[in-house]
Structures are given as structure tokens and as C-alpha cells.
Amino acid sequence: MSMASAQRAATYLRISLDQTGEGLAIARQRRECVKIIKQRGWKLVGEFVDNSISASDARKNRPGYDALVKAYEAGDFDALVCYDLDRLTRQPRQLEDWIDAAEDRGLALVTANGEADLTTDGGRMFARVKLAVARAEVDRKSRRQRDAASQRARLGRPPLGVRLTGYTPKGEIVPAEADLVCRMFQMFHAGESLKSIARTLTNEGVTTRGRKPWHPSTIRTILVNPRYAGRAIYQGKPTGKLGNWEPIVSDDVFDVVQAKLNDPRRVSNREGTDRKHLGSGLFLCGICEAPVSSWSQNRYVCRERHVNRARVPVDNWVRTVIVARLQREDMADLLAPTESELAPLLAEVEQLQNRLARIEADYDADLIDGYRYASATERVRAERAVIERKIAAHSSGAALGEILNSPDPAAAFFGAGLMAQRAVIDALCVVRLLPGTRYSRVFNKDTVAITPKKGAKDAQR
């Protein structure tokens, strides 16, 4: 079909970034494209729009473009009007698809700056050259941006782009936001899960900068960002240099949080194990030593059914014992490990990270093959997992430290969230459930064995 006889026309409108959100650039493109359709006496049968979406990366999803392709394949139009060729695509492969469409089915492709007749040799050459020039400009811009980002990282300056919660674009502290970020780190460090942190903030009416509820994945994005510890990053990875902005959290808190986030026991659930009951997965069966789980909301059972205990009286007794322990005069002995105790473990993690970096560098330089690379990295990561489990175990005392440092530790324990209470119990003792007296409705405290952990003294005394 020739251009002159084409009747059904579709428009494709795209802008890479709508900074105002008002769609003015899209409106300008629409006006020019509709003018062309009216001048030619065509009928507008469809409009396809992608707002704030780049055409430079073929991996990015363009819903409007994808719908355009499907509509053409379905035979819904036979003329396509766009503002400029690079609005339609900047990918050579996609351009060739439209060239094939013009050659095989006579597609009329018109741009506001002149016809791109893909059915002729000259038109195809024009389109290919124009696309190559546009692609080269994109590549040069990307290279300049990468070089600038690399230089900023080397100089310890904050990267440009989306503003980080807690900081201005220049890296200055935003007090209210920084307090919230610090609180997130403290809550997670004290034993709260990502889910429970998100739930607490939502219940308090605290929202993101975009006025949306906090989600566990959003909180995790904050907790893993090295910039909050004042560390410079490039392409999402620490450079090993300090930034020239004020950190919001200390190195030790940040490193402990990373160890807990990377704990292999959390890998299957990236949002953290947000338990609904005090003893689920924490209390043990006194017969087989397996963690008990909650069954039918009201009972604790082990997988072999050695124990089947009513949950509420067990929880109440464990809380009573813990509160009694917190009220003792020697409670200061239970404080969390000092920084000096954690320092060697954190240093080991850093050494293992450096080993991983050297292995990756050797692989990139073709000094080792893929088999040796995989084997070496697996060994180092296994070693790191062991150390991170130790750090995570140590850091469970953080919740205990916060409670012991409060004016009324007992009240602080009762007022703490479920995950923080679990962390305190885990720091102080091991709870084992023994079979109860059959057919008895009277709770027997002797069937709940509470054994103090090393250094915690007698929790039941």
C-alpha cells in the first residue's frame, strides 16, 4: 500500500523524562502528529504513548511501544506517525523490524520533520544513519555520566540522581529524615524484622517521601546502603573510601546490620522472619531439641509431636521469668557485647570481602578459569557465612542493652515489640518445653526449662 492511499493511521508519542509531570512535551508531539494526519486526509485509529521512558535500552519495558507493535501485527493500522524517528526507537534491531514492515506490507512511516519512506533505498539509508547518530550521542552521554560518577566517587562526593532519604542532593543532613533512618537501623539492630518495622511505621502514620506506606523491601534498600555509614560508592558498590558527608549510623551498627541481613537463615525470606508468637521457632522441644512451631494459633508443637503445649500459659511464664531476671541488681552483667568483642569478627568479614575482590580481579584478568573462580568464591562465602552468623548472634544483645539502659527495664520489656522480646529471650536463655501432665488443666512451670546462656547467669533464679 502506498503512502497516498493509506487511510488508517496511528501515532506513537514518547518522552524520556517528564520533569514537570504535566505531559507538555507529549502534548506538543501529539499536536504535530495530528496535524500531519489531517493534512493527508488520514483517519486516526490509535494513539500509543510512553511517558518518561527511554528508548535507548532494549531491556526496558515500553508498554506503549509494545502495544503499538501488537496493533500493527494485528493489522489495525497501515500508517505510523511520530514526532521524530528517535522517538520511535533507538535500537537498530527494532528499526530493521519497521523496515521489514515497510518492505513487506507497505507501511507508511511519517515523522514531523519529514517523511521517512522505508520502502526506498534512500529512505532506509537515511533512517539507519539518523539512528546511528542518535545512538552515538546516547553512548557519548552515558560515557560522560559514568566518568563523572566515577570522579565523584573518587573525590568522596555524593552521587547525583535521586535524592537519598536523610540527605539533601548536596549530601547535607535532613534532620527529620535522618532521625527516621537512624531509627530503622536501631530497630533492626535491636531484633525487629523488616516487616515489623514497616508495620510500626505504618501504624504511626509515618510515610515515605512519596507519601506511601513503608514496605519491607523499601526499608531493606535503606539498611543496605553504605552511604548511611559515610562510605563512598560507585555503581552500587563501596569504593573503600569515606565520603565527605556526615554519616547517619556508625560503622559498627551498619556492619552488624549487614551481617544480620546476610545471615543464611534469612535468605529464604528477604523480608525477615516476622513471627506471630513469642516462642515460634525460638523455644525448643525438650525431647528432640527441634524448634517448636505454633499450631492452630493456640499451641506449641514440635515436628515429631513430642510436645503439644498451650501457648498462652507458656508465654506468660517465660515473660515472668525474664522480667524477674531484668529486675535483679546484677542485670548490668547482661549488657550486649562491647564493640571490642565485635571488632575482630567485623575485621574478619572485611578480610573475606577483600579476598573475594581479589578473586574477582584475578578472574577478570584471566589469571584463573571459571572452575577455580567458582570454587574459590564458594569457600570464601562459606567462611563469611560462619562469621556473619556469629555477629548476628552477638547482636541479639542489642535489644537487651536498650531495655537494660531504660529507667524501668521490666516495663520496657513488656512495652517492646514481639521481635524485640524474642531477641531479649534469645540473648538470655534457651527455653525447652517438656510434655505437660496429661488431661491436667493446671499449668506446671516445671515443664518449661529455662536455661541461661553462657555469661547470662541463672535466668530462673
pLDDT at 422 over 70: yes
Which amino acid is it at 383? E
Q: What is the pLDDT of residues 332-381, one digit of tens each?
A: 555 545 555 666 777 787 788 788 888 888 887 788 887 788 788 878 87
**pLDDT > 70 fraction of the chain, expressed in percent and rounded:** 72
- pLDDT tier for residue 399 given thresholds of 50, 70 and 90: low
47: cell is: 494513539
Task: Determine the average pLDDT of the residues in 251-262.
Answer: 82
- Cα 335 from chain centroid? 32
pLDDT at 292 over 70: yes
pLDDT at 268 over 50: no
pLDDT for 135:
63
Q: Where are the alpha helices (DSSP H) in 192-241?
A: 194-203, 216-223
- pLDDT tier for residue 45 given thresholds of 50, 70 and 90: very high
pLDDT at 21 over 60: no
Q: How far is CA 422 from CA 12, 104, 182, 387, 411, in A?
A: 57, 69, 22, 22, 15
pLDDT for 237:
66
pLDDT for 449:
94
- pLDDT tier for residue 67 given thresholds of 50, 70 and 90: very high
Task: Determine the average pLDDT of the residues in 242-255.
Answer: 83
- pLDDT tier for residue 316 given thresholds of 50, 70 and 90: very high
Q: What is the pLDDT of residues 171-200, one digit of tens each?
A: 888 999 999 999 999 888 877 788 889 988
Whether the full predicted model's pTM is greater than 0.75, yes or no, is no
pLDDT at 61 over 60: yes
pLDDT for 172:
86
pLDDT for 71:
94
Contact at 8 Å (CB) between 388 and 297? no
432: cell is: 525447652
Cα–Cα distance for residue pair 3/41, rounded to 1 Å = 11
Cα–Cα distance for residue pair 63/80, rounded to 1 Å = 17
- Cα 373 from chain centroid? 27
**Strands across the sheet containing 293-295:** 293-295, 299-301, 308-310
* Residue-averaged pLDDT of the chain: 78
pLDDT at 250 over 50: yes
- Minimum mean pLDDT range among 164-168, 317-321, 369-373, 390-394: 390-394
Q: How far is CA 445 from CA 277, 299, 316, 325, 427, in A?
A: 19, 16, 10, 16, 21
- pLDDT tier for residue 397 given thresholds of 50, 70 and 90: low
Cα–Cα distance for residue pair 131/379, rounded to 1 Å = 48
- pLDDT tier for residue 20 given thresholds of 50, 70 and 90: very low
- Minimum mean pLDDT range among 131-135, 272-276, 337-341: 337-341
Q: Where are the beta strands (DSSP E) in 247-387?
A: 284-285, 293-295, 299-301, 308-310
Selected residue with higher pLDDT from 416 and 130: 416
